[in-house]
Every structure is written in C-alpha cells, then in structure tokens.
Structure 1
C-alpha cells in the first residue's frame, strides 16, 4: 500500500509538467483528534467517503492532488486525474486510499476509471444525511464508468428536456458469502451501476422538474456459489440478467434476481426565487421488490434545500439550509401491509452476501441504517444480520454559513429506531408466511447526533479548522469527539 501511495504521489506531481498551474491543485492537511470513547462519533465518520480517523486519540495526515478540466477552454476533448490518501496513527493505524482516478471528456461524454467520491440520486450533495443507494459513506468502489455527468439539453424545443446518466462496472474483490448451501466462503464479486435522470424546464425557467432512477447490483461467480451444475448461465448471459434486472432460478437455484440489487426512484424540483434557490426531492426505495407493488411506498427520503443567492460583506451570513425526513419503518412488512412475493425489504441485508450493502466494513447507503459494528452492545439482533437497525424515522437539519472569517457547518439529527423485522413482534415475512422473532425484540430507542465544523483561510494558502461532534441516545455509545486541523493548498 505504501508503494502505491508513493507511486500515485509521484505520478500526480509529474502532471504539473503538462498542466497549467491554475488547473492543477495540491493539498496536505494534518489532523489531531480526541474522543471520549473507543468509537468515532457519528458525524465524524459518516458520509466522508471512507476518510475516517482512528477511534480515541489519533493523528492523521491527508494528502490530495487533482487536475480538473480546463473550464476556460472549449476544447472538445479534455482530461483530468485525482488522488487522495489518508494515514492514521492511534489505536488503529492504517493507510487509506480515498480516491485515485483518471478521466477523459469528449463533448458531453465522460469516461472515468478508478476510485472516486460518488453520491447517487437526487439529494443535496453537501448537507444531506445520505442518499439511499450510494451516499458517500464508504470508500468508493473501483470502477470504469461511461457517463453524461451533467444535464444535456436536447437540441429542440428550446432545451425543454435534458438528461444525464451513467453505466459502470466495478470490482468489489473477495466478498464473504452467507448462503448456507454455498460451496465457497468468499466470492470474487462485481458491481453494476446505471442511472438515468431527466429534467423538464427551459434554462431560463424559474421552475424545473426532475425524475429518474438508479440501479446497483453486487453479482458474480454464482456458478461457484451454488451447488455444482445448478447455475447454468454463462458469464455474459449472467451479466445481461443483471443489467435488465431479470429473475432466474430453478434446479437448485432460488428464483430471484441475480445478486444483491437495490436502488431508488427519485423525484425533485428546483425554483429560483430572487434571493433563494429552492430544491425539494423525494427518494423512493427498492431492495427486494416491494416497490413494484407500491407496498413500501411510505418509505423514503424527503428533503428541502434552501441556498442563499445573495453574497454580502455581512459578518454573519447563512449560505445553505437543508431539512430531511427519512422513513424506513414500513418495508412492506407490517401486519397490515400488502402481501408481496418477496416479503419485507430488510433494507441493506442480503441472504447471499453476509455483509449486505457494505464495502470494506462501511455501509454504502444512508448512515442512519446501522451496522452491528457501530451500535452499542446489548441490542437485540439476528446473528446473520450485518445491519441490525434498518427500521427508523429520522429528522436531519443542517446549515452552512459564514461567521466573520470562518466558514461554518452545523448538523443536528434525531432518530427513533426499531431494529429489523426479524427483531420485531411481527417477524420477517416471505409471501404470506410469517416467521416469528427468534433473537429477542428490539425495543424502540432514540438517538441524537450533533456536529459543528469551522474552517478559516489564512495567507499563503494556509488554513485552520476544527470539527466537534456528540452522540447521545440508546442506539450508539454516548461519546464526543474533537478534531483540530491545519493544512496548506497550492
């Protein structure tokens, strides 16, 4: 890993010989942190693309370098690259490759390869509590992606319709398999992702409407997982089933969609007032199939973002305000829910992949859906569940602004948590069959998580800052944490 870091640093340093100075950016930052417990506080670890400090007292060194597209030119073809790494020293010392990628733009298309910082879906990308499918909570999955990254107005009807989307293939490495009949304990696993989003509204309209979907899949080597000879699809045919979301089964293979498939169907709108830009959005979730029947339509992420368009010299000024409500308690699993063949959704857990919708130990989606490793001991849970709390109601308020020379961010999140259907009085469901809970009942608990951050620019590209967070409640350990930082950018 150290050799990889050195190689990437040298590679990106050499870019300066081929790029304009204003197009190439470097940065290095030192952080020192303390915490009142041996776990990192919720908002010091969530939605940070895997860039997480060591628990307890720690020191960190973060380096980054990237070449952006040249925004001052109109060349048909351009390129960029980036690197970000983190070294932690403390109770747990490690080296983390946060991002390392190259990209080429040709007209409206972009080809990108490597590990990147991604968020998928219609959400506020800076202050959201987290998108359902890919929130930026974990390290990016290495992938190759072809995309139209920005909305492209169709050249008729005055740009009334615009669209963007992506198609990606990624590599998760060796992933633990939880299927009891599996012939192997780990399988080489791939990642499929595609999305398509549309916009209705001419460029000069104040109101614009948005809609779209994302589809993500863990898949691969099912012929090695199932009993010998049971899985009969060729790798290419298997990929087609993955892309199309088709069901397959029979002869010793359960009839279902291949791999672990989930995503969201999103709606949104923006409105440009004279002083404020409004962005409202809704994400509807699908995991094992209930959304097709609208059986879990009560679940979703609802958000409202207000951005201040005025820039003044006032000593105190707000810049952005975000309020979200996340509801995942229904899952088509209530006693009164519509019966669906796939049963309750059991968000992020999966019968084949024992670590569910996670990558390298961290959940890929909303951080409010809690893995066992991040929750306090003693909560009821099924032994096979990686995520032991996926039924919840959460309220999230975040603000960004300026106080004199400081840029500040604050977050307050409160949730009511109910475990999973496997630890509820009604139990899991499959079709019309109910399975009573076997491992106790998860008693409803509340959780409050707060966060504040301040950053101040100094002369000569220097900057200082701090981050502080506190957790109080029955889901996570009661803890507090403080990080101070000092860095320089070029």
Structure 2
C-alpha cells in the first residue's frame, strides 16, 4: 500500500472513531475533501495553486485528500467563556510533503479576549478571500505558521461612544516549520534557515454604527517579523539571537545587540514587514460598496513618510442585491515596482533606504513559508525557482485584477478571475518587461438532495513570458456536515 493511500485510510478511521465518541464536544463538524489537478505546460496555472493556505502544489499534476474535525466558537455565543478547536490532516502527491498537518489548534475565549494556540488557517485582512489577488503582507498563499495568538478577534466598542468607535488587535509569537524542506530544496551552498521564530501584531479601529448609518471606515497597522533561528550560507552556520530580550525587542522594533549580525545592529533586528490598511464601506439597502487600500512597507522610511507611497494595493468591491446572475464584482490594482526608487545617491537625504527588494532579506530566506510567498502570489514565489535558491526573483510588478462571482441557482455557484501583470524582476537582477496573464473559471454544484456535498470544477490558464503558458483543470469533491449535535 502506498503512503498516500495509507494516509487516506488513517484519516477516514480518525473521523469514524470520533463520530462514536459523542462525549468529545457538542457541535462537532467534519470536512472531507479530495482534489486532483491535471495540467499541460511547466506548472499548474497560478489560480489553481495560489491563495489556498498552502494546501496546493505548482506541479502540473497533483492531488490531495484531507479530513478535518472542528468545533466552531459561535456555538457558545451566550456564554462568557467559550472554546473551539480544529484538526485537519492531508495526504498528497506531488506536493512539498506527502503528509501535512494543515491545521491543529485550540481557541479559548473569555468575554472579548481570544487565546489561540496552534496552526490555523487565517483569512487575510480587508480583502475578499475568494475574489482578491491577495493581500500584500499576509494573503493565505502559504501554509499557516504555528503560533500563540492573543487579542480581540472581533471589534470591541469603546465605552460611551454608542457603538460609533470600536477597535481590535492582537499580538502573537510562533515558529516557521519549513527548515527541513529548505535543506532539501536548496543547493548545498545556498542560503537557508532553520528554527526561525515569528512575531505578529496589529491594531485596527472602526468608525461607524451600521445600525444607525450605512457607512463605516476601518483602518489600522499590521506588522510581521522573522527573527532568531539558524542561518546556513556556504555551509557556514550562524546562530541568530532568540533570548528573552529579543522577544521584547521585536515588539517595539529595535536595533540588534552585539550578538546580532552587523546589518541588524545598524538597522532593526529581524526581518520586519507590514502594512497600513484602510477600508470605506457603504451599504445602501441591499447594495454594498467597499473601497480599500493597503500600503506595504519593509523599513521605517516606508512605515512613515520618508519616501512617497507609490506602491500598494487598491480595490473596489461591489455586492449586488440577490439575483441569479452576478453576486459580487471586484477590481484590484497592485503596484510593487517603485520600492522607494532605484537611486541610492540622492544628496538631499540624510538617510537612504531605497531599493527595498520586497520579500527578500539579507539574512533570512525572505517572506515565504514552504516556498510559497506569504504575501501576494503575483510576486513570484521561490517554489518556482529551478536553481535551488530561496529568493524572489520577480518582485517588481504592476497588475490589474478582476473578480466576479454569483449563484445562478440554489445549487450552482461560480467565480471568474482575470489578472493582467507586467513584471520587471528585481532592481538587482532586472528583466525586460514580461507580460503575464492569469485566469480562472470555476463552478460549484451543491445538490440539495445530497446535503453537505459539493462538487467543484476549475479551469485555469497562464499566458506569457514569466511563468510560461500553462493550462489546467482541477476537480474537488467536498463533504461537510455535523458530526455531533
């Protein structure tokens, strides 16, 4: 028996055994899913592999089976204390792993404060998870990072504001899990890392009371950091600081100490990335209009206004009244070409922070996990590299992205994606302008007579000089339902 087949049997046995043990928890749900992709060309088309929480593959032919059990938090909405948990395992072929622990987490909530421990799929901030091309800092493109997360999962109203002002935020620490994979993927002398630590923090506020007025404004700051761990270059090992003081330094970004690499002593310890977010929504009757903006940064000059904010993601999303044709329309424009500009010799500036080289870093293997970029998949992920280097060779991109979805009947739904990009490589390794187009057509059938069953067929294409001409079809069968009442 092959290893994937054995994995499938074990997963099925796990779900079956849990259904017998009614004492585990009330409201337990399950999900079983199988997906297969067939492609021609060099890779699977981008929109058949991107923004799937890393449970995907760029190999032109691949497949997986996954089983999960979950207890949702909303069962206990009337209680001060509530809890949730989830476990999702997968067996796969032509993936980066043949066995994957996709999710394994426990959530505890007391009043408004949530504690989450483990590996959990997270929805990106402020963008539509099914129609967007992906947020710039965290898009759901890579596997989740195991972490301890503490914060407000939902907005909490500020006292005495009558619900017009609310806020949320979090702080988290975790660890990347791809050290062994990096060793297998990289050439012997290439840069790679192991046991790298993770830190995340964010604060958002909302102005508006939708029960009284159909407009709300949201904005905030999100920051993510890689720190600690071990770096290997040309076979040489460098241990990066991860003492208690380093955990504190990462909260308020500070320069590294004497045990840090020289570059961190001169700048800030670790690899820090982040975004400013803003969103304005208007809900007149059954319509919904929402405009949003994300400004990405990799150093303090772009965190503030040291240089003009020429790069970022802008979007407009329209939700139509219920109809059998179109449910949502989305447009996004994304730019990462400027990166504070190419010229490091501007005599008018006391400090020069140009050529930011998005998602790359001098010490770490960049803003990636298991080869997939943690941010926008339009900045070509290292998993596509054939030279054994974990490097983003294409991070200067301009794109126009369109999304469309709807439900013609109670049993049928669809989505369409079209992305037009222009690509220039990096400042250090430029390429002549490459144009690349990505598209997706997808339909899901959810028969009313087969409750909980969903059948999805997707067809994707890539056209251009960057990742080549690829055509592929993906078929997914999913069954979900209530395991324990």
TM-score range normalised by the length of the shorter chain: 0.7 to 0.9
Greater RCO, 1 or 2 (C-alpha within 8 Å, sep 6+): 2
Alpha-carbon separation, structure 1, partners of 2:460 and 2:51: 14
Shift of 1:333: 2.1
Of 288, 291, 313, the residue aligned with 1:280 is: 291
| Alpha-carbon distance in structure 2 between the residues aligned to 1:481 and 1:384 | 27
Once the two structures are TM-superposed, the CA of residue 488 in structure 1 deviates from its matched residue by: 2.3
Please point out which of 411, 417, 437 is paired with 1:411: 417
Find the counterpart in structure 1 of residue 41 from structure 2. 37
Matched, 1:391 2:396: yes
Are 2:436 and 1:447 aligned? yes
1:421 aligned residue (409, 427, 442): 427
Aligned partner of residue 326 in structure 2, secondary structure: strand
* Counterpart Cα distance in 1 of 2:297 and 2:144: 21
Return the match for 1:475 from 466, 474, 477.
466
Partner residue in 2 for 1:88: 92
Which of 341, 348, 363 is residue 373 of structure 2 equivalent to?
363
C-alpha change, 1:63 and 1:224, in structure 2 (3 Å) is closer
Deviations 1:240-261 (A, max 9, x none): 1111011235687231111110
Deviates more, 1:269-278 or 1:50-59: 50-59
Counterparts in 2 of 1:123 and 1:12: CA distance versus 1, 3 Å: farther
Q: Deviations over 1:447-471 (max 9, x none)?
A: 1000011111122322222011000
Given that 2:229 and 2:241 are in contact with CA atoms closer than 8 Å, whether structure 1 keeps it comes out as no
For residues 102-113 of structure 1, what are the structure 2 equivalents within 5 Å? 102-113=106-117
Q: 2:153 touches 2:169 (CA, 8 Å); kept in 1?
A: yes
Question: Which residue of the partner structure matches residue 124 of structure 1?
Answer: 128
Q: Which moved more, 1:445-454 or 1:364-373?
A: 364-373
Gap regions ≥5 residues in structure 2: 184-188
Give yes or no for contact 1:133–1:365 (8 Å, CA) kept in 2: yes
Which has the higher mean CA deviation after the structures are superposed, 186-195 or 10-19?
Answer: 10-19
SS in 2 for 1:158: coil
Alignment correspondent of 1:319: 327
Q: Structure 1 unaligned runs (5+)?
A: 425-441
Look up the SS of the partner of 2:341 in the other structure. Answer: coil
On the 8 A contact 2:165/2:208 being kept in 1, the answer is yes
| Change in CA separation of 1:188 and 1:72 when aligned onto 2, cut-off 3 Å | closer
The residue number in structure 2 matching 1:488 is 479
| TM-score of the pair, normalised by structure 1 | 0.84
SS in 1 for 2:52: coil
Change (3 A) 1:93 1:243: closer
Superposed CA deviations along residues 220-271 of structure 1, whole A, max 9, x for unmatched, are 157999xx9x999771211111110112356872311111100001111111
Structure 2 counterparts to residues 26-65 of structure 1, below 5 A: 26-53=30-57, 55-65=59-69
Alignment of 1:233-252 (within 5 A): 235-248=243-256
Structure 1 CA distance, aligned partners of 2:25 and 2:13? 19
> Which of 64, 70, 79 is the aligned partner of 1:66?
70
Please state if 1:342 is matched with 2:353. Answer: yes
Give TM-score scaled by structure 2 length. Answer: 0.85
Partners in 2 of 1:235 and 1:223 — Cα distance?
16
Q: Evaluate the alpha carbon distance shift between residue 399 and residue 27 of structure 1 in structure 2; reply closer, same or farther with a 3 A threshold.
A: same
- Residue 436 of structure 1: aligned partner: none
1:94 shift after superposition: 1.5
How far the C-alpha of 1:293 sits from its partner, in A, is: 3.6
* Aligned mates of 1:84, 1:449 — CA distance in 2: 30
Shift of 1:409: 0.9
Kindly tell me: are residues 403 and 241 of structure 1, through their superposed partners in 2, closer, same or farther at Cα, counting changes over 3 Å?
same
- After superposition, the Cα gap between the structure-2 partners of 1:328 and 1:196, relative to the gap in structure 1 and judged at 3 Å, is same
Give the number of aligned pairs. Answer: 453
2:186 corresponds in structure 1 to none
Contact 1:12 1:82 in 2 (8 A): no
Contact 1:55 1:92 in 2 (8 A): no
Query: Relative to structure 1, is the Cα distance of residues 388 and 82 closer, same or farther in structure 2, using a 3 angstrom cutoff?
Result: same
**Closer/same/farther in 2, CA of residues 253 and 294 from structure 1, 3 Å limit:** closer
Identify if the C-alpha distance between structure 1 residues 125 and 296 changes in structure 2 by more than 3 Å, giving closer, same or farther. farther
Range with greater deviation from structure 2 (335-344 or 25-34): 335-344
Where 2:285 maps in the other structure, the secondary structure is: coil
Q: Which residue of 2 aligns with 1:430?
A: none
Matches within 5 A, 1:427-442: 442=431
Q: Is the 8 A contact 1:295 1:331 kept in 2?
A: no
CA shift at 1:59, angstroms?
Answer: 3.9
Q: Does 1:192 align with 2:199?
A: yes
1:307 and 2:314 matched: no
**Aligned counterpart, 1:257:** 268
Structure 1 residues 66 and 423: alpha-carbon distance in aligned structure 2, compared to 1, 3 A threshold: same
Q: Secondary structure of the residue that 2:141 maps to in structure 1?
A: coil
Q: 1:387 is paired with a residue of what secondary structure?
A: coil
Match of 1:210 in 2: 218
User: For residues 9 and 195 of structure 1, do their structure 2 counterparts lie closer, same or farther at Cα, with a shift above 3 Å needed?
Assistant: farther
How far the C-alpha of 1:164 sits from its partner, in A, is 0.8
Distance 1:471 1:360, change over 3 A: same
CA 1:345 to 1:11, structure 2 compared with 1: closer, same or farther past 3 Å?
Answer: farther
Contact persistence 1:44–1:469 (CA under 8 A) = yes
Alignment check: 8 A CA contact 2:372 2:382 kept: no
